[in-house]
Structure 1
Amino acid sequence: MAVSPGDSPNSASGPDIQLDTAALRVLAHPMRINVLALLRQGGPSTATQVAEELGIKPGAASYHLRRLAAGGLIVEESGRGSGRERWWKAAHRQSIHDPASGAPEQRETGRAYAHAVALASAECLHTAAQEVPLLPEEWFDVSTFGDFVLRLSPKEVARMRDEVFALICRYRQAQGVDSEELAQVAVQVQIFPVPGTIAPRSAGS
């Protein structure tokens, strides 16, 4: 599984980052997922702007920004700001995490990260749902909210995931010049066992 909060090639110019255990710990919080996504999608911001956008207190925004900076996920924007005002920008285009290739400690930290990503994605979907009645016709007609239940093995799920990611990468690489028709589009990929159908793992396994 590769999860990448706020993937946006337009605002974050740095390379992709393969998350290590330390970075996974930093991102194991839904609000930090949202802060990082905001910087990747919208470009550099101050703590005050982040707080206003996400509906949190400036102090909380500053704390999350400092944690992201300590983890090397964001950097200060040089040449901007004055006095105590600091501008922050994303250091990478997207985050990549593959739990199947990590050490046992990293796999456990990866679960907490995936949990935070799932919560942040659910919040994003909830916000999008509130805007559905207000969407212009051309965007409402192409927006999709699907829910499919398939019977697949873990190997088949992995193959489907890889095919979906390859399709997304193809569209990302083919993006043209800016025009009035273009807008940022959220593509959520969620593939998981139907809740209650898989026996949970035993403690310590």
Structure 2
Amino acid sequence: MKKEFVVIGLGRFGGSIVSELINLDAHVMAIDISQDKVEDFASIATQAVTADTTDESVLESLGIRNFEHVIVAIGEDIQASILTTLMLKEIGVPKITVKAQNILHEKVLKKIGADIIVHPERDMAIRIANSMVSNNILDYLELSDEHSIAEMKATDKIAGKTIIDLDIRARYGINIVAIKRGYEILISPQTIEEIQKEDILIIIGSDVDLHLFEKKLLR
């Protein structure tokens, strides 16, 4: 059975979410207050609706409570984002993901019960900055304020050594959770796995420890 989603706000972020969910074979109701934006997605989304989602009666009439996951991707109108999230909570939507504009917006969203809060612009900036600082960091994803998961390219310094030789869990407090080797992906590699040059290591740990490992062993 296909998963069903509602995406509210069809700007660049919301529009991209709609397109990707459709590509993943999900049912998507796309909503925006702008008729022009709705028309842009009429041929893409399962259903596209022009509506003011700060009105609880409108949400009720659309049957939003029957969807398992609603993504609030409203752009610059923080008040509309907050009111929409509040309305969704009050009608009993099981899971709500909201795009936050800033830290204050995030704090309010947490207080009113948003399940997942995302900062797409900030997160992308962090990923780009980390990849610019080091040629070995290929991707970087924040898991919390202090912990992340990173893709790092193995170099001559560690090529030919096993995970147990490097002893990175004890020395750096981080874990290699997978290794990409060409088209192959080794999930939870064994400690006797020998790292090869150009392997891509998928590593999880605190930001401080990840950067220390990258600086000491990969540069």
TM-score tier (shorter)? under 0.3
Higher relative contact order (CA 8 A, sep 6+): 1
* Higher normalized strand content (fraction of residues): 2
Larger radius of gyration: 2
User: TM-score w.r.t. structure 1 length?
Assistant: 0.24
* Higher normalized helix content (fraction of residues): 1
